[in-house]
Chains A and B, each alone.
Chain A
Amino acid sequence: MSAKKEKTVRGAEGTPILAVKNLKKYFHTARGNLHAVDDISFDIAKGKTLGMVGESGCGKSTTGRLLVRLHEATAGSIIYDGQEVTKADPAALKLLRTRMQMIFQDPYSSINPRHTVANIIGEPLKIHGKVKSTSEYEDRVKELMDTVGLAQRLYDAYPHELDGGRRQRIGIARALSLDPEFIVCDEPVSALDVSIQAQILNLLMDLQDKLGLTYLFITHDLSVVKHISDDIVIMYMGQIVERGPTEPLFEKPIHPYGRALLSAIPIPKLNSRKERIILKSEVSSPIDPKPVCRFAPRCIHARAECLASDPALREVAPGRFVACHFAEEFV
């Protein structure tokens, strides 16, 4: 509570390793500017996991890509450990990329089918000159394979010989190869079956404990995000509509969209059927949106004010940030 004034996303301890301020990404289309990410700010504390949830097209993946600069930001800043990512020159960026890595959603298309497992995992080591000899290279690749639970007999195997779970382990090993501190996990388990998904989630959590990693965990699966995250941000049409610590946020979401979203999670238990908030219609167009509440057309509580101005994200309860004109009513 003493940290009220700070814009920190409530890491219990540790300073923010990553600070995002007023980040925007617009894509130019024939019909106008698509506001994929529209003025978002958040921090991630070292060693913590920030879960980013929202439905397809809300700007989660674009945000993840902006952080490691796979997209160039339209405006705003990304400070990683004191360094401005959006303005880093090529040499500085190359160095930054050894510290920030990404795990992609689809283990089928994110790895090169013509390379062997060892090649895929070890390529970053060569590019960044991290190993001096062939034997050192081989040792390091084998060590990485051990870390993520890939059998060494797969050293010379090709991706098509492996199932989705093992392929995702390759993606994780590759992301770990340069000893990064921060990893953007973009839907890392969405393409996997539940029994395999659980294996990968356990692995990611073990790695975090062992290596002190910081994660941005992007997913649309709300039970997964609750399981793995310390803090949550909920995105809607390029904006953050709610953010706060995981437990209280899941206990009682405040933003009407957050409440509808969490109420829509199917629970695999008897008689768990709760009051479900069924939203009207669908997401409106993200192309040159009007300066109004973007959720208003679907919101059961919408009033005249909602169509008069775009609500800012503000702290409505300790640690709880909500972008809604009437948030106090829902606290």
Chain B
Amino acid sequence: MEKILEIKDLEVRYYSDRKTVRAVNGLDLDLSPGKVLGLVGETGAGKTTLALSILNMIRAPQGKIEAGSISFAGKDVLSMSKHELRDMRGKDVAMIFQDPMTALNPVLSVGEQIAETVLKHEGLTKDQAWKRAEEMLLTVGIPAERSKDYPHQFSGGMKQRVVIALALACNPKLLLADEPTTALDVTIQAQVLDLMRTLIRDNGTSVLFITHSLGLVAENCDEVATMYAGEIVEYGTIDQVFGKALHPYTQGLFGSLPDLSEATKRLKPIPGLMPDPTALPAGCFFEPRCPYAMEVCKAAHPKDIDVGGHLVKCHLFDKEGGAGRKA
């Protein structure tokens, strides 16, 4: 099947006076049409940098995509002209940002913001665009008479629904949802995700769902990729990864979570911290924190190993296929 998104060997760096931050390191990622891929990882893993790279929005001069390729629906995003990029952003590829408070323009009414986008991309008249804006607001449960209200007149949950309406207004092929519900309360989160799922299913949109919550991944995604220190360390279907996580880091993430169904007395945190992205280890990036680290982990950076279609970047799975180790 033709992939909607194909990322190969992506390298993104941020430069400061003395230091170079290696934010994304040789990352490969594919996404099939209509699929929802959950991208999990902790603060600083490079999740947002990856999403911004897909839109070719890494800000120069401090940030730069140094190597690799990103192809969206067969087109090379990194060699697109400014004009082509502007056509793609907001139309074919839309993004939902984490914080609805800052993602909206405070001096335009919510209706105007949506109308502006469809006016730009869909070639409608002003009246048609306004009508479309009202329809979109209605789809996300905001009555049309509120379309002339400004963002500050809405609650957090409603603002995020406006952001969703804005992102989906042009029927994008790919939606980048960067922690879309992190700023919301759980009951509102449930409302918003319920709505997002319906809209995505109806439009057949592919989604890169960025989150730090494994719970949200389990309930909303088809596939999952774990990101650590700028690379994907594990990739598989939900059944594969939640059935049996292979990478020690993914296992560590699961161990860190309190289990609602069982009374665990002690959590099993991952010792230590994420490596400094300005001085990454020569071998496996997770080796300093890994309970299974071996000599080879210090010396050589692991490659992706295919364990029945479930990819894992770990030396434990070289040759022996993970013998002698339990999930």
Q: A residues near B, CB below 8 A?
A: 55-56, 163-165, 193-199, 201-202, 205, 220, 222-224, 226-228, 247, 250, 260-261, 263-270, 272-273, 276, 278-279, 282-283
Instruction: Let me know if B260 and A273 touch, CB within 8 A.
Output: no
Apart from A194-B212, A261-B187, what are 13 other A-B pairs with CB-CB below 8 Å? A55-B187, A194-B256, A197-B269, A198-B255, A198-B267, A201-B267, A266-B215, A267-B261, A268-B257, A269-B242, A269-B261, A276-B190, A278-B191
Q: Would you call A194 and B260 a contact (CB within 8 A)? A: no
- Please, how many angstroms separate the alpha-carbon atoms of A197 and B268 in the complex? 10
Query: Is B242 within 8 A of A55, CB to CB?
Result: no
For A298, the closest partner residue in chain B by CB is B187
Contact indicator A165/B273 (Cβ below 8 Å): yes
Question: Which residues from A are CB-within-8-Å of B257?
Answer: 194, 198, 223, 268
Residues of A within 8 Å of B194, CB to CB, are 276, 278
Which among A268, A273, A283 is the interface contact of B254 at CB below 8 angstroms? A268
- Complex contacts, B238 vs chain A, CB 8 Å: 270
Inter-chain contact B186/A55, CB cutoff 8 Å:
yes
On whether the beta carbons of A267 and B212 are closer than 8 Å, the reply is no
Contact in complex: A279, B218 (CB < 8 Å): no
The reply to whether A223 and B42 contact each other, CB–CB distance below 8 Å, is no
Q: Are B219 and A266 in contact (CB under 8 A)?
A: yes
Binding site for A on B (CB under 8 A): 42-43, 155-158, 185-191, 194, 212-219, 238-239, 242-243, 252-261, 263-264, 266-270, 273
Q: B42's closest neighbor in chain A, by CB?
A: A193
A261 touches B186 (CB 8 A): yes
Verify A224–B219 contact, CB threshold 8 A.
Answer: no
- B contact residues around A279 at 8 Å (CB): 187, 190-191
A260 touches B273 (CB 8 A): no
Q: Is the beta-carbon distance between A194 and B253 smaller than 8 angstroms?
A: yes
Q: How far is the CA of A267 from the CA of B186 in the complex (A)?
A: 12
For A282, list chain B residues within 8 Å (CB): 155, 157-158, 188
Given A194-B253, A202-B269, A272-B218: A267 and B260 within 8 A (CB)?
yes
| Least distance between A181 CB and chain B CB atoms (Å) | 23
Q: Check A224–B258 contact: CB distance below 8 A.
A: yes
Closest 7 CB pairs of A and B: A266-B215, A227-B258, A198-B269, A268-B214, A55-B185, A198-B256, A198-B267
A and B contact pairs by CB, cutoff 8 A, 10 listed: A55-B188, A165-B273, A196-B269, A197-B256, A220-B185, A220-B186, A223-B260, A267-B219, A268-B257, A269-B218
Chain A residue nearest to B268 in the complex (CB): A198
Task: Point out the residues of chain A lying under 8 angstroms from B215, CB to CB.
Answer: 265-268
| Contact of A265 with B260 in the complex, beta carbons under 8 Å | yes
Which chain A residues border B43 with CB–CB below 8 Å?
164, 193
State the CA gap A205–B157 with chains docked (Å).
34
- Judging by beta carbons under 8 Å apart, are B243 and A270 in contact? yes
Chain A residue nearest to B220 (CB atoms) is: A266
Instruction: Assess the A226–B186 pair: CB atoms within 8 A.
Output: no
A205 to B158, CA, bound (A): 37
Inter-subunit contact B188/A270 (CB<8 Å)? no
Cβ distance A264 to chain B, nearest Cβ, rounded Å: 4
**Closest residue of B by beta carbon distance from A200:** B269
In the complex, are the beta carbons of B270 and A266 less than 8 A apart?
no
Contacts of A198 in B (CB 8 A): 255-257, 267-270
Q: Which residue of A lies closest to B189 (CB)?
A: A264
B218: which A residues are within 8 A, CB to CB?
266-270, 272-273
B186 touches A264 (CB 8 A): yes
Given A265-B186, A266-B218, A282-B158, CB of A195 within 8 Å of CB of B258:
no
User: Is the beta-carbon distance between A270 and B219 smaller than 8 angstroms?
Assistant: no
Residues of A within 8 A of B42 (CB): 193-195
Known: A227-B264, A270-B218, A276-B190. A199 touches B269 (CB 8 A): yes
Minimum CB distance partner of B190 in chain A: A264
A201 touches B243 (CB 8 A): no
- Contact between B185 and A195 (Cβ–Cβ < 8 Å)? no
Give, as a whole number of angstroms, the nearest-CB distance from A209 to chain B: 10
Query: Cβ of B264: which chain A residues have Cβ within 8 Å of it?
Result: 227
Which residue of A has the minimal Cβ distance to B185? A55
Expressed in whole angstroms, the Cα–Cα distance for A278 and B193 within the complex equals 10
A276 to B192, CA, bound (A): 13
Docked pose: A324 CA to B268 CA in angstroms: 39
CA distance A265 to B239 in the complex (A): 20
- A201 to B269 CA separation, bound complex (whole angstroms): 9
Q: Which residue of A lies closest to B264 (CB)?
A: A227
**In the complex, A55 Cα to B186 Cα: how many Å?**
8
CB neighbours of B191 from chain A (8 A): 278-279
Residue of B nearest to A273 (CB): B219
Q: Is the CB of B216 within 8 A of A266?
A: yes
